[in-house]
Amino acid sequence: MSVVSVVVVFGLLGWIVVNSPNWPAVRDAFFNAKYFWRALPYVAQGFVVNIQLFLVSEVLVLICGLGIALMRTVPGAVFLPLRLLAVIYSDFFRGVPGVLFIFLFGFGIPALEIPGVPNDPFFFGVLTLVLLYTAYVGEVYRAGLESVHPSQEAAARSLGLSRAQAMRYVVVPQAVRRVVPPLLNDFIGLQKDTALVSFIGVVEVFRQSQIQEAATYNFTPYLASAALFLLITVPLTRVVDILIARDRRRLLAAAR
């Protein structure tokens, strides 16, 4: 019955679209097979830049995000300034739209002409993505750290480990395993947000689509860009679903 309802709903939506008065013009402008295959090699070339941005940023975000999370969870009055700094950082970079930071860092810092600072848009694209997603991933890590019961650290300390050793060998490994699904969700967002760096001159998939659209006066190259993003994001989404289902089964088995 569910299959029939799905077929009926999507069939009805498809019928409404293709019978719209202006569907032929929309089809030629956005779903033209000739322009799709003509633009695909150029768009795929730009998508390689997006993958490079994603891979470099992901590694740095994983490291920096864990650092921010540890700063927020370090105990003691003497570390209060460190915790406040981490809170301010997280609130600031999560509270402002990412595109504003792209413009700020991509155009503002090069305008200062600071000696030794690169003038490469790719560098500032990576810098902005790392700063943005470190704030999000830091909160994910923090949730994972706080989900580990304090008795785990206490047991490690009773065995003679220092707090740093207890965090490294006991708490952090458990926390990381617990936050893998939300981390993958954040990295799906990171992969998509690599398109924002086109605003500062990086010739990636979105900019290549703009170039092809300007050359042909047809919007189908944007469809090619969307298809390439889906090739990455859909498998990652399914991996997240599998991991969440596995964790749910493990929790249910432990509760019995």
Domain boundaries, the chain: 41-255
Q: Which residue did the predictor score with more confidence, 201 or 45? A: 45
Residues 228-252 have a mean pLDDT of 83
Q: What is the mean pLDDT of the chain?
A: 88
pTM of the entire structure? 0.87
| More reliable by pLDDT, 246 or 47 | 47
Nearest alpha carbon to residue 91 among 151, 56, 134? 134
Alpha carbon 146 to its chain's center: 23
Return the CATH architecture of domain 41-255: Orthogonal Bundle (1.10)
> What is d(CA 202, CA 45) in angstroms, rounded to the nearest whole number?
13
Chain Cα centroid distance, residue 8: 34
- Name the band, by pLDDT with cuts 50, 70 and 90, for residue 6: confident
Query: Could you count the other beta carbons within 10 Å of the beta carbon of residue 103?
Result: 13
Q: Residue 88: its pLDDT value, please?
A: 94
Sequence-separated (6 or more) residues with CB below 8 Å from residue 42 = 208, 211, 212, 221
